[in-house]
Structure 1
Amino acid sequence: MSSYLHKVAGQAINLTGVVSMRLAGRIAFRLFSTTVSPEPKTDKERKLLAMSRNAMREAEPFMLPVHAGMVAAHRFAPIGEPNGKNLLVVHGWGSRIDYMQGLIRGLRQTGAVVIGLDLPGHGGSTGRFLTVPLAIEAIDAAWRQFGPFDAVVGHSFGGFVSAMSAAGPEDWMKRRTPSRLVLIGAPVAAEHVFSQFSGHMGFSRRVSRAMDEEVQRIAGQPISFFSAGRMLAAKPDLPVLVLHAEDDKEVSANAARLYDEAGPHVELQWLNGLGHRRIVNSQQTIDAITRFLV
């Protein structure tokens, strides 16, 4: 959807709020949570998908059941001498494991088994809808099938939900804590993401509040609850590596700084010049993660 169409849709939802603010909040949240088609949309994505085909053929495919359908998981064997490590990789919003083959191959070359997880509504998984609880359920399914994991590596939204899965309260979710956690270009709080989305759509303040209230209705928690930084601050025994570029135009560098403030168990490394997407398969990223996992 173009920026113009986003604004038109945003104004239509604002008008809906005049009649029913609760309905406007539901529509806004539904729009926020609806995923795009997993088919590549640009020539660059089509080229990247074609380049990944041979690498994806090296994986053993699995379909794991979740409440909303099935999620696709891909088990990649080590390249070279196995080191006994078992790693989970989780992609970002609008992406898929196919697009992370540079990173996955780099991790496999250390001798690790790598599990690549397609989140609901992405890649080979079913559905066209994704929320934080659905993503955490998908991660839990991967743990039940392949875990425990020595480390979870998540990019963007995948890093955000991986952090909450690793450090969230056990009375709300079944915590799945790896030995180490790596976050690449990851947002730190749902409030920030919602605010960015509301601004992009041109929502009124009342519609933005109604969307927050819809989160409370669906998840049983206020939007402020979904703060990965605060959750990690309460888990000082979990070593965390945060990789971010200050030139990231999709996730503010302030998110990385807030993660860094969670405590001395969080290590922040700036990989400037790599933006939000090139950072994923960068050799600098692979080297930093490899050092962290030793």
Structure 2
Amino acid sequence: MSKKAKKRSNSLKIPTIIIYTAKFLQSISPKLLTKFAARLFTTPMRHKMPKREFEMERKSKQAKLFVPSIGKEIVTYEFGDAAKKVLLVHGWSGRGTQLVKIAERLTEEGYSTVSFDAPAHGKSDGKTTLMPEFIASILEIEKHFGPFEGAVGHSLGGMSLLNAVKRGLKIDRLVIIGSGDKISDILTEFVDRMRLKHKLVDDLRTHFEANFNKETMESFSAYIAAKEVEIPVLVIHDNDDAEVPVKCAIHIQKHLKNGELLLTKGLGHRKILGDPEVIERTIDFIEKQAI
């Protein structure tokens, strides 16, 4: 792993005080530990918006949209006024303006974009969320702003879009960037970072599945959704991604009926969103499929 990748991996570190608290709860009450860990797992960080996103934020038409199926309100962004629309979906702890460089290039090519702050992200209300709420938001946005020519998703946003297509989202092509794959692996990595016993993985799964309307947590894995996706999908991932292993992209692409794979180097998990080659391949893929 490169020095840059190692440095980026620091963003995954959990504060020592939280780890000590979790270990204490592990020693006295598995139930309290599960509740504590579940809260931590479902709470994203609200990062300060960088200057590169200011113009998109300023020029976008913003509105609040209520998502009935989850009982939450989200903030939406319409960027550009072209009739052809592309849906953009940020990842965990992201924002509706995070894919700004891709949005700007799409508008140059005659598209407009629609994006949103997922529940508990950006300007949207709430403190906790999970992928099913990302998916519900996507499907509700389609009702109000669709149809969409295509969609681009980063990290959890890509996983959510694959699941949304599986559940009826009508788009002609999809690009996912830096997306995770198996839910079980994501839970295991979280527990490992907490330095806790692996029994917590099963306890968390049981805890979350109580709210999933009879769907197992693992059923939201990207590779499982990919099996039912018929449209063309471009899977982009960096070999030096310290947050999501590149093996995830390779596994997802293997299960797609019509999937392409682009691997980059030295860009990590977030810098990849502004890379000129990645952006041009994304635009070309969308335009190619539109012909």
| TM-score calculated relative to the size of structure 2 | 0.87
Checking the alignment, whether the CA contact within 8 Å between 1:107 and 1:286 is kept in structure 2 is no
Aligned to 2:58: 57
Equivalent residue in structure 2 for 1:76, among 76, 79, 90:
79
Aligned to 1:11: 23
- For residues 209 and 218 of structure 1, do their structure 2 counterparts lie closer, same or farther at Cα, with a shift above 3 Å needed? same
Q: Give ranges in structure 2 of 5+ residues lacking alignment.
A: 1-12
Deviation, 1:223, is 2.7
Q: Give ranges in structure 1 of 5+ residues lacking alignment.
A: 41-45, 169-174
Deviation, 1:243, is 0.6
What pairs with 1:33-44 in structure 2 (closer than 5 Å)?
33-36=42-45, 38-40=46-48
Equivalent residue in structure 2 for 1:31, among 5, 15, 40:
40
Is 1:257 aligned to 2:250, yes or no? yes
Deviation, 1:215, is 2.1
Q: d(CA) in 2 for partners of 1:5 and 1:239? A: 45
- 1:53-88 CA distances to partner (integer Å, 9 max, x unpaired)? 22211111111002342101100115xxx5x42100
Q: d(CA) in 1 for partners of 2:243 and 2:18? A: 17
Q: d(CA) in 1 for partners of 2:221 and 2:52? A: 36
Aligned to 2:141: 142
The DSSP-based 3-state class of the residue aligned with 1:254 is: helix
The DSSP-based 3-state class of the residue aligned with 1:221 is: coil
Q: d(CA) in 2 for partners of 1:234 and 1:53? A: 37
| C-alpha RMSD over aligned residues | 1.8
For residue 4 of structure 1, what is the amino acid of its counterpart?
T
Aligned to 1:99: 98
Checking the alignment, whether the CA contact within 8 Å between 2:227 and 2:257 is kept in structure 1 is no
- 1:14-66 CA distances to partner (integer Å, 9 max, x unpaired)? 124xx3x3443233222200122x252xxxxx5x2x33222211111111002
Equivalent residue in structure 1 for 2:222, among 223, 228, 233:
228
Q: d(CA) in 1 for partners of 2:91 and 2:66? A: 20
Q: d(CA) in 2 for partners of 1:101 and 1:74? A: 11
- 1:119-147 CA distances to partner (integer Å, 9 max, x unpaired)? 11111111111111111111122111101
Q: d(CA) in 1 for partners of 2:20 and 2:71? A: 30
- 1:206-265 CA distances to partner (integer Å, 9 max, x unpaired)? 222111111221213333212121221123x21111010010001000100101111340
How many matched pairs? 272
Checking the alignment, whether the CA contact within 8 Å between 2:22 and 2:33 is kept in structure 1 is no
Checking the alignment, whether the CA contact within 8 Å between 1:244 and 1:271 is kept in structure 2 is yes
Checking the alignment, whether the CA contact within 8 Å between 2:56 and 2:79 is kept in structure 1 is no
